Chain A
Amino acid sequence: MIRLGIDVGGTNTDAVLVDGDTVRHSVKTATTPDVSTGIVQATKKLASQNPAAHRADAVMVGTTHFTNAVVQRRGVSRIAAVRVGLPAAATLEPFVDWPPDLRTLVKGPTFMIQGGHEVDGTPLAPFDRAAMKDAALQIADSGVEAVGISAVFSPLNFAAEREAAEILQTVAPHVAVTMSHELGRIGLLARENVTLLNASLVSLARRTTGGFVDALRESGIQAVLYITQNDGTVSLADQAARFPVHCFASGPTNSLRGAAFLSGLKEAMVVDVGGTTSDIGCLRRGFPREANNAVEVGGVRTAFRMPDLLSIGLGGGTIVDPKNPNQVGPLSVGYQLEERATVFGGSEITLTDVAVAAGLVDLGERKRTAKFGKDFVNQVITRCHDMLAEAIDRMKTDAEDLPLIAVGGGCFLVPEKIPGISKVVHVAHQGVANAVGAAIAQVSGEVDQIFQNMSRGEALEKARVLASERAVKGGASLKTIAVVEEEDIPLSYLPGNSLRVRVRVVGDVQQRPRATTENKDRLRRE
């Protein structure tokens, strides 16, 4: 199976060709303002250097486009919000905890309607159809293109959200609908926030994924297009166009997954040393460990699955104080390394310069670093190693020693010996780990709901089946599905042995049946 992985970063668009378990080829091109042109350039370059790219079964694109839209407040749409839940949650309206500037951009007509369910799935109050019809008419008149619908306890019973969406679509068939039960877990406000963020990005996502499809066609590659998500898995492009929020933070995830693939390690720490920061994460069973705390995106509190990452201001471009070797960073020359670093004729002393002086890497002109004192170089490197070692230890949650995979352009800054680390692993293609991570992404399915009146074993089994069904719907091959996370919490106070079960499964992307000459011949013979 041949897969292309494309990582659209802020500076570079990288593309890799992965054949089965092997990275065959990688290229780097500049990211273009319209994103798609960069993808065309990268894939054409890749295909011209390795024609096997034309035989790709799947293309996986990783992009930070949607996160950036929210963070930078551009490209998000004004939307309508409907919450079915009165008389519950009456005082806290939709958008209540959004940063004011983003709320002003996104918040359109907002409605709170009677209905929703209780914790045992029974109706909380009768659904107010008349109020919903009235809201639908107002939404149709308002001209918004998208609406987010949430209902109290919809992860347990989504009937209210479905009913509201049906009424809306009879009146306003062109409005794109996001329903909260499709996106989130228990916790109304966080789930609703995710739903509203998603609705605000649907128009952008349709345009962007449409652009990806066109780019692929222009490159002459006929393969299924997938977009990578924040949990190291992918979804089909049309699914991603419906749920752009799932693509948030896919960059760091791809880098961690790429490191796992390139090293063959499943349980390890990973450090990605870039130009400005080092991101440290932890691999568990080949997937990034997720963060515990409520995750904010552009100031909005969400309930996302996000990789647990620690970023410190230390990278190849980090500026060192010439007078104080202990003052390393946090300022960086960033993408201007080749203009401002000493080894390239610039006037700043960066960590790259000091590493060149120390003989850790060969870049630019080493003789320009001759003026650095030997003690200065040693002290800076020691300080840099201490900072990395401390950050790595903070992220480590196992008592036993673990291997550390070092990736990224600045990975020469990582020391060879670190307390708690069994060995430091360097890999080929470390500069394009993100694109590799995209190429090898899998399809996931998740369930998070309360099961009642059944044994723990029955509940877990039911959850596994539901999660597998969701993964298959997303494009996974059923026979490759494996459980990667399973968690059950008995719920205090609730009747009937209530158990909240969260199960996540992943599977390989379903291989497209291909009518190759060889296959045709075989079919004829048979």
Chain B
Amino acid sequence: MAAAPLRITIEHLESFAIGAWIMGTGGGGEPYFSLLEARQHWAQGKSVELIDPMSLGDDDLIACVGQMGAPIAMQEKMCDGPVIAATISMMEEYLGRKFKAVMLWEVGGNNGFQAFLAGAILGLPVVDCDAMGRAFPQADMTTFAISDFSAAPWTMIDIRKNSVIFTEAVDWTWMERMTRKVCTVFGSAAATCKAPRTGREIKSGTCLYTATKAMRIGRTVQAARKAHADPIAAVLQSEKGKLLFRGKVKDAMRRATEGWLRGTVQIDGLDENRGETFRLDFQNEWSVGWQNDKVVVTVPDLICIMDTVSGEAIGTETIRYGQRVTVVALPAPAILMSTKGLKHVGPRAFGYDIDFKSIFPETAR
């Protein structure tokens, strides 16, 4: 049975910001600016209802929104809710139909907030699901692509209200290529409304209940901090996660290739890992981890690096030499680990000749 709608308060969103940054697995940008904007909307009496995906009718039409671009561009131009809301209105105009609700494109990092901002501005409920269950660098690394849902139409607007609509794309790879070009022209930041989804598609082809999951993770961190307990241990317990390694960052090497930030972080062990080493590769998000030169964790398992003391997530753009960090893994949604799913988001999709083997035993999932 579907859960009753949940009226989202600003306290929910404060927790969401913390949890979404952890679920960003190093990417997606810090959710600070969008949280600030949300505080303003909520202070003016706006809010949204979070609804259970299972409460949707099969033919209900749902918008899916997210920001696209470089986190550095967002740090200067920030992303405004009204622009993201405009992509939905543009899509409605093109379709000649109104949306019933809005869903998250990418729960991790700053992007999960976009659905809440747009929902508050347009008065639409938010559906408790997203298309990644974490953050990923490309549009073809989504449950929509895994489910072979259509990639078009797609609307895209910049801060000046320059707008583009992509009406056809052969597949998600083509949509990713085309939109990335326009994004660069827009100043490396664009608001997007992805291809609309039906209630039926959402029930079968998304990561379900990921918005409440982010809020739960955030609440766990907040409660632990308040009690002066270890926030990381609390998250691992509530999310059935695994502690992989504790140490200090020895080296952070970054390089820009093919339009992404890639690189490697080396960590020297501390405490129970003293004398050991851990190495992580990333493509915007953490992708593969080696302990003492042996692969121990890969995408799509969620690999998160957190500040050992505060439990705050650390991004691939900001991780720095000397930081004391803890590497943990959280279980990925089942849809990402299916045979078709792994074609899109498994280690090989990131260029590694490695078979995916989840760090979590199947029975525990």
Size category of the B interface is 35 or more
B69 at the interface (CB under 8 A from A): yes
- Decide: A399 and B78 in contact? CB cutoff 8 A: no
In the complex, what's the smallest C-beta–C-beta distance from A387 to chain B, in angstroms?
Answer: 16
Task: Specify which of A119, A292, A497 is in contact with B187 (CB 8 Å cutoff).
Answer: A119
A159 at the interface (CB under 8 A from B): no
* Shortest Cβ distance from A86 into B: residue: B159
Task: Specify which of A87, A96, A119, A292 is in contact with B72 (CB 8 Å cutoff).
Answer: A119
- Decide: B324 and A394 in contact? CB cutoff 8 A: yes
> In the complex, which residues of chain A have a beta carbon less than 8 angstroms from the beta carbon of B323?
292, 397
Size category of the A interface is 35 or more
- Decide: A91 and B81 in contact? CB cutoff 8 A: yes
Which residues in chain A, 496-526, are within 8 Å of chain B measured between CB atoms? 497-498, 500
B261 at the interface (CB under 8 A from A): yes
Interface-side segment among A44-52, A183-191, A322-330, A421-429: A183-191
- Decide: A500 and B77 in contact? CB cutoff 8 A: no
- Decide: A490 and B261 in contact? CB cutoff 8 A: yes
B167 at the interface (CB under 8 A from A): no
A491 at the interface (CB under 8 A from B): yes
- Decide: B260 and A89 in contact? CB cutoff 8 A: no
Task: Specify which of B78, B309, B324 is in contact with A92 (CB 8 Å cutoff).
Answer: B78
In the complex, what's the smallest C-beta–C-beta distance from A117 to chain B, in angstroms?
Answer: 9
B361 at the interface (CB under 8 A from A): no
> In the complex, which residues of chain B have a beta carbon less than 8 angstroms from the beta carbon of A494?
70, 72, 184, 188, 256
- Decide: A118 and B75 in contact? CB cutoff 8 A: no
* Shortest Cβ distance from B249 into A: residue: A397
> In the complex, which residues of chain B have a beta carbon less than 8 angstroms from the beta carbon of A90?
80, 82, 159
Q: Kindly supply a per-residue 1/0 record for chain B positions 306-339, scoring 1 wherever the CB is within 8 Å of any chain A CB and 0 otherwise.
A: 0001001000011011111000000000000000
If A88-B159, A118-B187, A498-B256 touch, whether A188 touches B69 (CB-CB below 8 Å) is: no
Which residues in chain A, 255-270, are within 8 Å of chain B measured between CB atoms? none
CA A74 to CA B231, docked complex, whole Å: 37
- Decide: B77 and A152 in contact? CB cutoff 8 A: yes
> In the complex, which residues of chain A have a beta carbon less than 8 angstroms from the beta carbon of B318?
292
Which residues in chain B, 262-312, are within 8 Å of chain A measured between CB atoms? 268, 284, 309, 312
* Shortest Cβ distance from B184 into A: residue: A495
- Decide: B160 and A125 in contact? CB cutoff 8 A: yes
- Decide: B184 and A493 in contact? CB cutoff 8 A: yes
If A489-B317, A492-B284, A494-B70 touch, whether A88 touches B254 (CB-CB below 8 Å) is: no
- Decide: B160 and A493 in contact? CB cutoff 8 A: no
In the complex, what's the smallest C-beta–C-beta distance from B228 to chain A, in angstroms?
Answer: 13
- Decide: A187 and B160 in contact? CB cutoff 8 A: no
* Shortest Cβ distance from B186 into A: residue: A118
If A89-B80, A489-B254 touch, whether A188 touches B75 (CB-CB below 8 Å) is: yes
A386 at the interface (CB under 8 A from B): no
* Shortest Cβ distance from B320 into A: residue: A292
Q: Kindly supply a per-residue 1/0 record for chain A positions 472-501, scoring 1 wherever the CB is within 8 Å of any chain B CB and 0 otherwise.
A: 000000000000000001111111011010
User: Which residues of A pack against B, CB within 8 Å?
Assistant: 85, 87-92, 96-97, 118-120, 124-125, 152-153, 186-189, 289, 292-293, 394, 397, 399, 489-495, 497-498, 500
A189-B78, A491-B256, A491-B261 known, 12 other contacts, Cβ within 8 Å: A87-B160, A88-B76, A88-B159, A91-B81, A92-B36, A97-B36, A189-B33, A292-B323, A490-B255, A492-B261, A494-B70, A494-B72
A-B contacts, 6 listed (Cβ < 8 Å): A85-B77, A88-B78, A91-B82, A119-B72, A124-B160, A493-B188
